[in-house]
Every structure is written in structure tokens, then in C-alpha cells.
């Protein structure tokens, strides 16, 4: 993908920058939307993965809802034209100010994560003279088989209401005059590549749905969260995640009643592959044991490798050369963790060469920082070509 045409297009551009392939984004959104529509599923886009305006505009225009985890994300999605009736608000620590803001915009539902939070939302809704829609986020204790930092559905994780407190939660809900239970919510983790994990999730969702229904509670929405992984190793060969296979699992294994809606909160699978971080080689350096490529992008632009030891494919832009040597590809930040990859086979490179770090559209620019007083992130979109 990063051929000589792109090399020519990038030649006079200041680096580093995020490059977004808007066509690929559109194809990904269309593929997801058609697979979901076919099954009557609803998808909320998880803004936390990427809240770049151009990206949000397109996602909103395609009719997706929004999944937010802060008052500012709720505000951003409303400002970008998302229908408040399709906005969910999740997170273990919503502040009073954030709850009030979301209440005043009539969002679709709060995904509540503790009994105390339910009580606070009930009080604030009463104060505002409103009824707040809530979904109970249940911690189902399902292992997502992913990195431990992005595993969220185990007993030891801070997320969701533990099974031991569900009885009490149901009682609190029955007495809460200003809450309306719309559904159950689950999210077990991110970058899940073994689809069997979602089968296990379905089994738990069915159990908890039955548990509530046996107690006479109507559940209108089953929100199964996000988490579908992408192929970091082969971004060109697998540019679009297998939405058909993913939705199929829920279609087959979730026991939905008539009129019961199934909602998803997908982030990574929608935006990861359309984004790449493009950088220039500042210096090459031969260490005692290593060849280093020192880039003008660092962990301040893309933190995933430093934070999660995450793999991102690294390519030389527009390179037809065959011979490679192994480089440690590092950034300019004063930390040894500022490393994008060790022993990466790349064509022999020199100062000024362009390097692309792929699959960086999700949890890339949103997690950037200005540590070391770095410059603000720049962007280039494929339709400027």
C-alpha cells in the first residue's frame, strides 16, 4: 500500500503525521453496517478509539451510534451530529457533572457499573425531573484471551457489577423512581482474535438475561460491547475485519426474544487499519549490538508499543529494495521504552527516508501526549492526494 505514489505525495510533507485512508475507512464501515443490518443489529462506534473530526463525520454520516466514556466524548458526539438517542455512556467513574450533562441531552442509556453509581444517577435524574435509561454492566468473568491491560471482564477487573451484587442491584433498580432499566451490558476486552471467546460471552449473556427475566424484569437491549480484533501482522491482506463471522456468532448463540435488540460497541475494528503513522528517519546509528533507526515519531505519537508491547508492522515507504537488515526502530523520546519494534527487518535506510507504522488508526492519535513538549499531531487524508 505504501508505494511510490504515496512516497511522492508525502515528499514535501512535514513529519510525523497520521495518514488516514478514507476509502478504506468507508469500505470498512459499509462492510460492518451491512453485516449488522442484515441481522437487525445496532452498532455504536466507540469514540475512544479515534475522535478525529473527519473520521467521526464519516462514521456519523453512515448512521452509527456512539459509545462514549466521558462527558467530553458525549459532547463531541453530539457536536458531530450523532443522534443522542443512539449514544451510550459507559465508564466506572462518571462524575456528577458528566452525568448531568448526559441527562440534559437525553442520551440512549448510561451503562452503569456499580450500585453506588445507580443511586447517584437516580438522585441526579430526580433533581433534573427526568427518568434516566440505564443498562447494567455485568462483569461476566469471561477471559478475553488478550493482553492483560485490555482484559475487562474478569472478576479481578474493576469493570461491571460482580455477580455477587446482582441481586442487590435488581432490588435497587426496582426502588429507583428515576431509573428505567433498558438492558444488560457486557464488554470483556479488546483486540479479541479468537472468536470462540464471544461464544463464551453469549453463554453468559443468556444466563443473565434469563436470570432477570425469571424475576419479571423486561430486558429490551442486550449490549455485548466491542472487542473485535484486527490483523496487525497483515494489514494489507486483512484490511477489513471479518464482521460476518463476528456477528454470526451472536446471531447463532445469543438467545434473543422477539423485539429484543442487540447492540455492539465497536472501536478498533472500524478504524485501526485506515490509519498509519508516517515518520522520517532522523538518524541511523550502529550500537554495540544493534542497528538503530531513529525516527522523528515516538511514543508521544503512538504509545501502544511502549505501553502494551504491542506489535505494529513497520514499512519503508515506496521501497522496492530486497536486501534487509534488522533495525531497532526507536523514537526521539528520552525513555528506553520509546521503541516501535526490535530487530525489524527493513531495507537499508538512511536519513530522510519515510517509514510507515501501520494499523495505527485505533488508540493511536487519541493516546498521544505532549510529553517532552512535543508538537501537536498532524494529519493527512487520502482524499487530499
Contact positions vs ligand LLP (CB under 6 A): 46, 48-49, 67, 90, 150, 152, 187, 190-191, 225-228, 265-269, 304, 308, 363
Cβ–Cβ under 8 Å, residues 17 and 377? yes
Burial class, 321, CB count within 10 angstroms (exposed 0-12 / middle 13-18 / buried 19+): exposed
Query: Burial letters for 206-221: b for 16+ Cβ neighbours within 10 Å, e otherwise?
Result: eebbebbeeeeeebbb
In the complex, the smallest distance separating the C-beta of residue 135 from ligand LLP, rounded to whole angstroms, is: 11
Residue among 215 and 233 whose Cβ is closer to ligand LLP: 233
DSSP for 86-107 reads GEEE--S---HHHHHHHHHTT-
In the complex, the smallest distance separating the C-beta of residue 92 from ligand LLP, rounded to whole angstroms, is: 10
Residue among 304 and 374 whose Cβ is closer to ligand LLP: 304
**Alpha carbons 218 and 212: distance in angstroms, whole number:** 7
In the complex, the smallest distance separating the C-beta of residue 347 from ligand LLP, rounded to whole angstroms, is: 28
Q: Which three cell numbers stand for residue 202?
A: 453469549
In the complex, the smallest distance separating the C-beta of residue 170 from ligand LLP, rounded to whole angstroms, is: 21
Residue among 29 and 354 whose Cβ is closer to ligand LLP: 29
**Alpha carbons 112 and 99: distance in angstroms, whole number:** 11
Residue among 58 and 294 whose Cβ is closer to ligand LLP: 58
Residue among 67 and 117 whose Cβ is closer to ligand LLP: 67
In the complex, the smallest distance separating the C-beta of residue 303 from ligand LLP, rounded to whole angstroms, is: 8
Residue among 229 and 332 whose Cβ is closer to ligand LLP: 229
In the complex, the smallest distance separating the C-beta of residue 318 from ligand LLP, rounded to whole angstroms, is: 28
Indicate the pairing of strand 324-330 with strand 314-316.
unpaired
Residues 6 or more apart whose Cβ sits within 8 Å of residue 148: none
Amino acid at each position: 500500500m505504501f508505494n511510490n505514489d504515496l512516497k511522492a505525495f508525502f515528499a514535501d510533507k512535514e513529519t510525523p503525521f497520521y495518514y488516514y485512508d478514507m476509502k478504506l475507512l468507508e469500505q470498512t464501515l459499509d462492510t460492518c453496517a451491512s453485516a449488522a443490518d442484515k441481522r437487525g443489529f445496532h452498532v455504536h462506534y466507540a469514540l475512544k478509539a479515534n475522535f478525529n473530526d473527519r473520521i467521526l463525520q464519516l462514521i456519523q454520516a453512515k448512521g452509527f451510534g456512539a459509545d462514549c466514556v466521558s462527558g467530553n466524548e458525549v459532547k463531541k458526539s453530539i457536536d458531530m451530529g450523532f443522534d443522542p438517542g443512539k449514544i451510550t455512556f459507559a465508564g466506572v467513574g462518571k462524575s456528577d457533572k458528566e452525568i448531568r450533562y448526559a441527562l440534559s441531552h437525553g442520551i440512549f442509556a448510561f451503562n452503569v457499573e456499580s450500585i453506588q453509581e445507580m443511586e447517584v444517577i437516580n438522585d441526579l435524574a430526580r433533581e433534573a425531573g427526568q427518568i434516566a435509561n440505564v443498562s447494567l454492566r455485568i462483569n461476566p468473568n469471561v477471559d478475553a484471551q488478550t493482553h492483560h491491560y485490555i482484559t475487562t471482564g474478569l472478576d479481578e477487573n474493576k469493570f461491571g457489577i460482580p455477580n455477587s451484587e446482582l441481586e442487590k442491584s435488581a432490588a435497587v433498580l426496582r426502588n429507583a423512581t428515576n431509573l428505567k432499566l433498558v438492558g444488560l451490558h457486557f464488554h470483556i476486552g479488546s483486540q479479541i482474535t479468537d472468536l470462540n471467546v464471544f461464544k463464551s460471552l453469549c453463554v453468559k449473556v443468556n444466563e443473565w438475561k434469563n436470570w432477570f427475566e425469571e424475576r419479571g424484569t423486561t430486558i429490551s437491549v442486550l449490549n455485548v460491547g466491542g472487542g473485535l480484533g484486527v490483523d496487525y501482522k497483515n494489514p494489507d491482506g486483512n484490511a477489513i475485519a471479518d464482521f460476518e463471522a463476528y456477528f454470526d456468532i451472536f446471531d447463532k448463540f445469543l438467545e434473543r426474544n422477539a423485539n429484543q435488540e442487540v447492540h455492539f460497541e465497536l472501536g478498533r475494528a472500524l478504524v485501526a487499519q485506515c490509519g498509519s503513522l508516517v515518520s522520517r528517519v532522523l538518524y541511523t546509528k550502529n550500537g554495540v549490538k544493534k542497528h538503530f533507526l531513529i525516527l522523528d515519531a515516538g511514543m508521544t505519537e503512538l504509545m501502544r508499543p511502549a505501553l502494551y508491547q504491542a506489535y505494529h508492522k513497520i514499512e519503508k515507504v515506496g521501497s522496492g529494495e530486497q536486501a534487509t537488515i534488522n533495525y531497532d526502530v526507536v523514537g526521539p523520546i528520552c525513555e528506553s521504552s520509546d521503541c516501535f519494534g526490535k530487530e525489524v527487518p527493513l531495507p537499508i535506510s538512511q536519513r530522510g527516508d519515510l517509514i510507515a507504522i501501520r494499523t495505527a488508526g485505533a488508540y493511536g492519535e487519541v493516546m498521544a501526549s505532549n510529553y517532552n513538549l512535543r508538537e501537536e499531531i498532524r494529519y493527512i487524508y487520502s482524499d487530499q492526494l
